[in-house]
Amino acid sequence: MHKKIIIYDTTLRDGAQAAGISFSSADKLRIVEKLDDFAIPYIEGGWPGANPKEVAFFKEARRLSLKQAKLVAFGSTRRANTSVKNDPQVKALLDAETSVVTIFGKSWMLHVQHILGTTGDENLAIIRDTVRFLKDHDREVVYDAEHFFDGFKDNPEYALKTIQAAEEAGADCIALCDTNGGTLSLDLKEIIEVVSKKIKIPLGIHSHNDSGLAVANSVLAIQLGALQVQGTINGYGERCGNANLCTIIPNLQLKLGYPCLPADKLKRLVELSRFVDELANVRHDERAPYVGTSAFSHKGGTHVNAVQKVEKSFEHVKPESVGNQRRILVSELAGRSNIWFKGVELGIDLTKNDVDLKQIVQELKKMEHEGYEYEAAEASFKLLVQKILQRHKPFFELEGFRVIIEKRGAGHSHCEATIKVKVDGVSEHTAAEGDGPVNALDNALRKALVGFYPSLEKVHLEDFKVRVLDAKGGTGAKVRVLIETKDDQALWGTVGVSENIIEASWEALVDSLEYKLLKDEEGKSAKKS
C-alpha cells in the first residue's frame, strides 16, 4: 500500500501569475473554501508581502472555518546582508498568521552570483537563517528549492548544499523545483535518485510545463519517493503553466494506487476544474485530460460501436470516476451506432436497426458536405433528427425581417432589425437595436416571441463564432456560424451555413430558440407522465 500523497495547491499564487489570470480577494476566498471542501491539504494563498491585496486576503482568510486544509503563506528567504529579524518580507510571512510558510531560495550559482549578487556561502547562510527563524516562531516550513534541477546540472555539489542547509535548519519538507520547466524526465530521475540518498526529510516536486512534461515529471517524482506534489488547478501558471493537478491526481490515484483524495471528492473533479475556470473567467479547455468535455468523446463509428460493447476498449478509466461523462459525436464519420447512442443521449426514441437510422446517417453526411458541423451544435442535430422523422413542430413562422446598418462619418455603426413572425395564427411585428446586425436580429426575434413564450426572457447568447469555409470565395464565401445559447439551467449549441452571414446567423438563432422551447415542452410532458 502506497503512502498518502500530499497535494499542495498553488493556484492562487503561482497560477495567478499566468497571463490573463487575475483573482480578486473574494475569488480567492471562494477558491480556498472549495479546495478545502475537496480535502486538498495545503493551499498556498499568495505572497503576503507583495501588495496590499495579498495582505487583505490573509486577514480575511483568518475568518474562514476550514475543515482540514492548511493555508500557506509564500515568500522568499531573507535578503543578502540583512538580518532575518529585520527583513520586512520575512516579517510579512509571520504577520499572515498561517501555520505553514513556504519560502523559496536559490539553488543555482548563476542566480546566487548574478541575481542575488552575493556569494555561495552567504546564500547558504540566508537559507539557514530564514528556515531557523520561521521554525523558532512555530511555523511548519516548506522549502522550495528554486531552479534546483538547473542548479544541479550546473554544480551538483553546491545545489545539494543548499537543500542540506534547509534540512539542517529544520525544514519540514523540501520541494525540488523545475522552475524553468526545461528538465527532461530521465535527467529528473537521475537527479532525484541522488538527492534521495542525501536528504532524509520528505521531498516534494514543483514542475513547470515549458517542455510539456510538468505532469509526467511530477508523477515520476512521486514514483521515485517524493511525498508532496505541487501544482495548480487546470495547470494555470507563468509562461506555459504549472503541473496540472486535475491530471496528476487521477493519474496517481486511479492508475498507480497512490491515495490523494477521498473517492467521493475525486468523482467531483470536473466540478472543481470548472469552478476555478469560472472564477478565473477562462473558457474551459475541452481537450483537457480527465476533465475536458472531449476527454471521453467518441467520433468514429467503429469506436462508438466498440465502446458500447466493452467500455475500456476506448476509455482508459471510467468517466464517472472523475465526474465526467461519455460523449458521442456526430459527423461525416458517424455510423448507425453513433446516431443511436446520440439519440438516447438527447432523448430521441430510435430503434437501432430502424431504417430511420440509415436515413439520418445519409442526411447527416449530406449536411456536413454542405458545411454544417454538429459536434458543437447538438441542439441543431436534435432538431434535424426531429425533422427527418417528421416529428418537428415549428414554434413560430417567419413572415419577414429586415436589418439596417447605418454609419455616418467616423462614428459607430447603428444597427436596427425589424421582424414579423406568426405564432398560432397571431402575427407580431416589432423592432430592436443591437451592437451589430446579428445582435439586433437576435434582440428583435426574442422581443417578438417573449409575449408568446415568457421563458425566452431567461435565454441569452453566450458565444458567437464565424468560420469561412472556402477562403478562395473571398467576400462571397460560404460561412458557418456556431452559436452557444444559455438559460439558467443549461448551455446548448446551434449551427447555420450560408454565403450570407446574416442568413447563417438567422438559421442558428432560430434553432437556438426552438431548442429551448422544445426542451420546455418535453419538460412539461415528463411532469404530466
Residue 396 is given by DSSP the state -
For the residues 21-35, what does the mean pLDDT come to? 93
Same domain, 441 and 464: no
Same domain, 37 and 78: yes
Specify if 410 maps to a domain: yes
Specify if 287 maps to a domain: no
Same domain, 318 and 265: no
Confidence of residue 338 (pLDDT cuts 50, 70, 90): low
Average pLDDT across the chain, whole number: 90
Cβ-contact 233, 18 below 8 angstroms: no
C-alpha dihedral over 372, 377, 383, 386, to 10 degrees? 80
Per-residue model confidence as pLDDT tens digits over 471-519: 666 666 889 999 999 988 888 999 999 999 999 999 999 999 999 999 8
Domain ranges, residue 137: 6-280
Sheet holding 460-468, edge to edge: 460-468, 479-486, 491-498
How deeply is 174 buried, as exposed, middle or buried, from its count of CB atoms within 10 A (0-12, 13-18, 19+)? buried
For the residues 18-41, what does the mean pLDDT come to? 94
Specify if 344 maps to a domain: yes
Specify if 285 maps to a domain: no
* DSSP strand pairing (228-231 vs 6-9): parallel
All three cell numbers of 212:
510539456
Specify if 130 maps to a domain: yes
Same domain, 361 and 390: no
493 vs 218, residue with greater confidence: 218
Same domain, 135 and 162: yes
Same domain, 426 and 307: no
3-state SS class at 229: strand
C-alpha dihedral over 179, 184, 185, 188, to 10 degrees? -50
What pLDDT is recorded for position 135? 98
Last residue of a domain, one of 251, 280, 309: 280
Statement: residue 250 has pLDDT above 90:
yes
Cβ-contact 416, 440 below 8 angstroms: yes
Specify if 172 maps to a domain: yes
Same domain, 236 and 346: no
What pLDDT is recorded for position 312? 74
The rounded distance, in Å, linking the Cα atoms of 81 and 75 is 18
524 vs 75, residue with greater confidence: 75
What pLDDT is recorded for position 252? 98
What pLDDT is recorded for position 359? 77
104 vs 295, residue with greater confidence: 104
> Residue 100 belongs to what H/E stretch?
strand 100-106
Same domain, 375 and 409: no
Same domain, 352 and 385: no
Statement: residue 356 has pLDDT above 50:
yes
Cβ-contact 420, 429 below 8 angstroms: yes
Statement: residue 334 has pLDDT above 60:
no
Buried b (16+ CB within 10 A) or exposed e, 258-283: bebbeeebbbebbebbbbbbebbeee
C-alpha angle 511/513/516, rounded to 5°?
A: 105
Last residue of a domain, one of 385, 417, 449: 449
Specify if 289 maps to a domain: no
Cβ-contact 420, 404 below 8 angstroms: no
Confidence of residue 123 (pLDDT cuts 50, 70, 90): very high
Identify the CATH number of the domain in which residue 152 sits. 3.20.20.70
Residue 2 is given by DSSP the state P
Same domain, 419 and 317: no
Same domain, 85 and 127: yes
Per-residue model confidence as pLDDT tens digits over 391-436: 888 899 999 999 999 887 777 888 999 999 999 999 999 999 998 8
Residue 254 is given by DSSP the state I
Statement: residue 112 has pLDDT above 70:
yes
Q: What is the domain count for the chain?
A: 4
What pLDDT is recorded for position 347? 64
Confidence of residue 349 (pLDDT cuts 50, 70, 90): low
Per-residue model confidence as pLDDT tens digits over 151-176: 999 999 999 999 999 999 999 999 99
Confidence of residue 355 (pLDDT cuts 50, 70, 90): low
For the residues 76-93, what does the mean pLDDT come to? 95
432 vs 305, residue with greater confidence: 432
Same domain, 387 and 413: no
Residue type, 268: R
pTM given for the model? 0.73
For the residues 451-455, what does the mean pLDDT come to? 94
309 vs 186, residue with greater confidence: 186
Identify the CATH number of the domain in which residue 475 sits. 3.30.160.340
What pLDDT is recorded for position 333? 46
Specify if 483 maps to a domain: yes
Distances (CA, A) of 371 to 32, 178, 364, 498: 45, 46, 11, 9
Identify the CATH number of the domain in which residue 412 sits. 3.30.160
